[in-house]
Amino acid sequence: MKGRGAATVEKTLAYGVLVVLAVAVLFPFYWMIITSFKSEDQMRSVVSMFWPKPFAIENYQQLLAKTEFAAWYGNSVFVAVSSTLLATAVGTIGAYALARLKFLGRGFMASATLITYLVPPSILFIPLYKQMQALGMANSLAGLIAAYPSFTVPFVTWLLMGYFESIPEELEEAAMIDGATRFGAFYRIVLPLSAPGVLAAGLYAFTQAWNEFLYALVFITDGKLRTLPVGLASFITGDVYGWGYLMSGAVLTTLPVIAAYIYLQKYMVEGLTAGGVKG
């Protein structure tokens, strides 16, 4: 009986801790969503603090009609998708080379990849901006697409190195014995088996590019070329916050990332787990 009682207490405490953590994580999203449906008067009212009465969609209407939000959304989609495809392609090939090919300096390059990932973007944005300016890519979306892989490629490479090393090398050797080239074995054998890891790495790169603020703020001066994080920040003027625009914009901004994580969560967990342990 004592054992059952202790197990019940432990189970209750565990569920209690989980509930507290869930509330702490989900409450900001709840507050963001309900605030986006409040009018200015409701935001100042205690009566409508936790639930808008009635629901108001004027924030969304004004956001889409009176601001450049639609253009910012398109810019973010274009930059995030393009830089993700570029980072995933480069990182996948680089990770395979570091995991499978034997060449001088391989260990140093693998370590340098991880060290590069740890370098803060705040240190790199000045030299990167100088390079983009010299190439004529400053104040353009192409400049952001070229700059974002500087922090996404190292992580994609590091993650996929562990994933490729978990795949038996004998599968590639058997394919090459049957006449496949090294690239053919990679494309037909390794790449399909590593799809969960590639998806996890791509999802991470997309999230980083979608939420990136510093490079987009420094590189872009044209208001119509802003991405969503910089565009939303423009709703803050001094100590005046446009809460209606901010909350409705934040809701629309988080939807693609939430949808992607919900749809790909199985691959995300499998990819990160396999990539974090070298076989």
Q: So what's the pLDDT on residue 226? A: 93
Number of C-alpha atoms within 13 angstroms, CB side, residue 68?
18
Q: So what's the pLDDT on residue 73? A: 94
For residues 76 and 167, what is the distance between their CA atoms, to the nearest angstrom? 35
196 in a domain, yes or no? yes
Cα 202 to Cα 17, 43, 76, 155, 241, distances in angstroms: 32, 38, 16, 10, 34
50 in a domain, yes or no? no
* DSSP β-bridge partners for residue 241: 236
51 in a domain, yes or no? no
129 with 229, same domain: the answer is yes
Q: pLDDT averaged over consecutive 10-residue blocks of the chain (279 residues)? A: 69 90 91 87 77 84 90 94 94 90 82 82 85 88 91 89 85 86 86 86 90 92 91 84 88 87 70 48
123 with 183, same domain: the answer is yes
Smallest CA-to-CA distance from 185 within 201, 173, 198, 203 is with 173
174 in a domain, yes or no? yes
55 in a domain, yes or no? no
Strands (E), the chain: 236-237, 240-241
Pairing of strands 240-241, 236-237: antiparallel
94 with 218, same domain: the answer is yes
Q: So what's the pLDDT on residue 126? A: 86
207 in a domain, yes or no? yes
Q: So what's the pLDDT on residue 5? A: 67
For residues 150 and 147, what is the distance between their CA atoms, to the nearest angstrom? 6
32 with 167, same domain: the answer is no
Q: What three-state secondary structure class fits 241?
A: strand
26 with 104, same domain: the answer is no
71 with 19, same domain: the answer is no
Residues in the chain: 279
122 with 221, same domain: the answer is yes
15 with 138, same domain: the answer is no
CA 160 remoteness from chain centre:
16
If 0-12 CB within 10 Å is exposed, 13-18 middle and 19+ buried, where does residue 217 land? middle
21 in a domain, yes or no? yes
49 in a domain, yes or no? no
Residues in contact with 190: Cβ distance below 8 Å, sequence separation at least 6, in sequence order:
96, 164, 167, 171, 172
Tally of structural domains, the chain: 2
Q: So what's the pLDDT on residue 268? A: 61
Smallest CA-to-CA distance from 186 within 84, 112, 99, 82 is with 99
203 with 127, same domain: the answer is yes
Q: What is the CATH number of the domain that holds 101?
A: 1.10.3720.10
Residue that has been written with the tokens 């978990």 in this structure: 166
Secondary element (H or E) of residue 226: none
Eight-class DSSP state of 237? E
For every residue of 96-165, DSSP letters joined together read HHHHH---TTHHHHHHHHHHHHHS-HHHHHHHHHHHHHHTT-TTSHHHHHHHTHHHHHHHHHHHHHHHHH
90 with 148, same domain: the answer is yes
For residues 57 and 39, what is the distance between their CA atoms, to the nearest angstrom? 8
136 with 34, same domain: the answer is no
Work out the number of other CB atoms within 10 angstroms of the CB of residue 198.
Answer: 23
Q: What range defines the domain where residue 9 resides?
A: 2-43
10 with 92, same domain: the answer is no
Q: So what's the pLDDT on residue 80? A: 94
Q: Do 249 and 70 meet the contact criterion of CB atoms below 8 Å apart?
A: no
What torsion, rounded to 10 degrees, do the Cα atoms 34, 39, 43, 49 define?
A: -50
